[in-house]
Structure 1
Amino acid sequence: MSDSGEDQLRSLEQAIMARAGELAQEFTDKASRQRDSILRDTAERLHIAEEREVLVAKADAERHFRRVTQASELKMQARLDQLRWEMVQTVQARLAERIRSLTSDRDSYRQWLATMIADAAERLPAGELTAEVNADDLGWLAAEWDALSREAAPDRQITLAENPTWGSGGIRLRTSDNRAQVDNRFEGRAARFAANIQRAILQQLFPAGINASARSGGPQ
């Protein structure tokens, strides 16, 4: 082979090697880019997965917190209901004691009845009035009704009903046509003062949140 042929062969080999090197570098660069892309995609997917796990964990924590909070609120409400019921029972028991104490003292009870008669007579419209008491009180009031009614309301004509009314004590006055009445029987007064009693109980349970005052006793 002539020198010219050998030179051409070496040139061809060099060209082939150079091209092979270029291709190898291209493949290397492409592989590197693909690797970087894969790593980025993987990292992004991991980040998304982590965020999803965090969101799921947060949602689970919030649900658990709500369940615990609701359970605590229900437990507290049940306890408050129990306390309110116990306090209502206490108030009712004390009211019954005050009623028994008042009715057992004839002079004090008569004076209180006179006060209630005067109050009702002042509030009711003009005209004849009828007074109603329970059977126990009717037995002793019938004999001294005229004196008591003149003492309590001298300007009003008040008739004591012959038939007793229900209740543990007190007195109810009504107009002859039954269009107006003032119920000062113990049960009637307790019903009117029920809201005050509830406020007094709530004031005991929530002293910082209730400003209104209320009286929780019996006859006044």
Structure 2
Amino acid sequence: MASIGVIDYGMGNLHSLGKSLERVAGSQRIEISYDPEKLLKCDRLVLPGVGGVLACMNELRRLELNDLVIEASRKVPMLGVCLGMQVMLDHSNENGGVDALGLFPGKVVRFPDPPADAVERLKVPHMGWNRVRQNRPHPVWNRVPDDSWFYFVHSYHAQPDRPEHVLGVTDYVTSFASAVARDNIVAFQFHPEKSQAAGLQLLANFAEWNGQA
């Protein structure tokens, strides 16, 4: 039986993400685990995450999951969610600066504070529903309308070095990359498991994706 592994390092919304995957994954088994041997046997992997990048990287290293993510990213379709997307870049400015997994060239930066004279004082963190403009075609966008609404909670956002890696863009204080993809990796800043029909469709598309754009 095919399986989707959800990497459990103690900092993800595992219950709701696992349940959402179970709803859309058909006959595939959902394996939530911190065991590298079990995870490496899965046909697809999901790297979730909430919280700060320093704690995330510390836990991934402590559990010897950072090397697993890097190794598996060369072999199977992989999905990053929220903080799981941010740690896929080279470096984050959060927590005084933290080197991350380096799966995408680029860095993660904090949203700029809105100007004092701004007509609309947008708050940081960016929390709530916002639209995602699809930057280019990709199998995970199948049956997901452009400019669909997704649920966000974050104070930092990705700045990929390579424009071709940007899969979706969202406006909040500035325009930022809310989805990235390359080869067999795709990642979202928003939470698909909290994003109703559009989010479930994205997860369903990932569950069917063979890792080719």
TM-score by length of 2: 0.24
Q: 1 or 2, which has the higher helix percentage?
A: 1
Q: 1 or 2, which has the higher strand percentage?
A: 2
